[in-house]
Amino acid sequence: MTRRQVLKLSAAGALGPLVLPAQAPPPNILMIYADDLGWSDVGFNGRRTWDTPHLDRLASQGVRFTRWYSGAVVCAPSRGCLLTGKYTIHNGLKTNGDDLPAGETTIAEALKRHGYSTALVGKWHRGKRPDGGFTHPLDQGFDQTFGFLDATEAHQHYPKTLFRNRERVPVSGYTADLFSEEAIRYLESPRRQPFFLYLAYIESHFRIEAPEEDVALYRGRFKEKDPANPLNARYAAMIHRMDSGIGRVLETLDDAGLAGNTLVVFSSDQGATFETGNQGVSNYHDSNYPFRGQKRSLEEGGIRVPAVVRWPGKTPAGAVSSAVIHMTDLFPTFVAAAGGAVDPAWKVDGMNMLDVFQGKSAPPDRTLFWEWSSEGGNMYAAMRGDWKLLVIGGAEFLYNVADDPGERRTLAGERPDILKQLRAELRAWQATEVKR
């Protein structure tokens, strides 16, 4: 109804003044991304040997997802899937050495179309384009950035310098603290428009470093190879410190009166790693329990990650969902929350899960895909509902990951019908790869 029609009805006197409902403002969006954090590295997924009280509280206020999947199994590709809403074979980011193609549209660019202020705090993970250059977050929709641009520097938790926008600046302190404090400054800064804050921590990514005051909380709790160098306690302290920083960020939302209309998503880029740089700590703590596999693997331990979504009054508090969510879904979901829809020209692979987040509907019936064909990897996966086809070097394994989350018993011989269907879908998907 137009304003002229409203005035006409009011003047007639028959109905009296007609008051139209005010349109709810679009939500702020806070995306919190951990690095190499295993599914069971957090209290809300069962961890009891260290504390994550703030993340546990977030889970109690929102929806905890038990089948949330990363888009890839190493840092740059997983971030590419999140930022573009597209599979690795479609967005040009298949390895850690790849750079986000300048022509790809990011979440930040999409949300800026809807009047959002945008910021990246933490890890960007640039690679190199064929022309030798690299894509900067300021060129991909972010109004401001603070943190690591180069992946090779994002191993250190006590950096001497970080990038503020395009300038390298001196810093001092622990990364979880530096990034939390920067996020807090951003949240406290005055603005009239809604915001999208992408807060990308580097915990629990190696190096295994943490402030000694936190290490002291866990020293002696775990068997150590060298008690003088308590790596297992230090890993616990890394996650504890990140959790404390997240708690301060969430408290700032509360204090600023922003929490009620802020959509918060917490997850990890992929599962925990058992590689050399991790020095055995994720192995000791069984960080991906109850799953097998790790970072650089398409087994559940590599791609199933912890996740929470909170939007007060919109998402049910304390709910647990087994809906299958893929990291590419966040792009169209965030745009939908902002009141928009993705442009078909962007060719986004993910789907809008806003109603799923709010408990209004079940997820759509679809098949999801993954590939890890770099660094000697030769793995592909296709998943439809509870059924997962895992291809390793040409060998095919079929699992029901609801009944067998540890992927111990292949059912390829028992269910050739499902095997045939997923194999055909996987091959059709592989044929859609965009050559660059």
Residue 25 · residue 259 · CB < 8 Å: no
pLDDT digits (tens, 9 = 90+) for 52-94: 999 999 999 999 999 999 999 999 999 999 999 999 999 999 9
CATH architecture of 28-364: 3-Layer(aba) Sandwich (3.40)
User: What single DSSP character describes residue 106?
Assistant: P
Rounded distance between C-alpha atoms, residue 220 and residue 231, angstroms: 11
- Give the model's pLDDT for residue 128: 67
pLDDT digits (tens, 9 = 90+) for 268-278: 999 999 998 89
Residue 345 CA to its chain's centroid (Å): 24
Strand pairing report for 319-321 and 167-170: unpaired
- Give the model's pLDDT for residue 317: 97
**Is 218 exposed, middle or buried (CB count within 10 Å of its CB: 0-12, 13-18, 19+)?**
buried
CATH architecture of 378-430: 2-Layer Sandwich (3.30)
- Give the model's pLDDT for residue 213: 97
The band of 1, judged by pLDDT with boundaries at 50, 70 and 90, is: very low
Domain boundaries, the chain: 28-364, 378-430
pLDDT digits (tens, 9 = 90+) for 21-50: 567 899 999 999 999 999 999 999 999 999
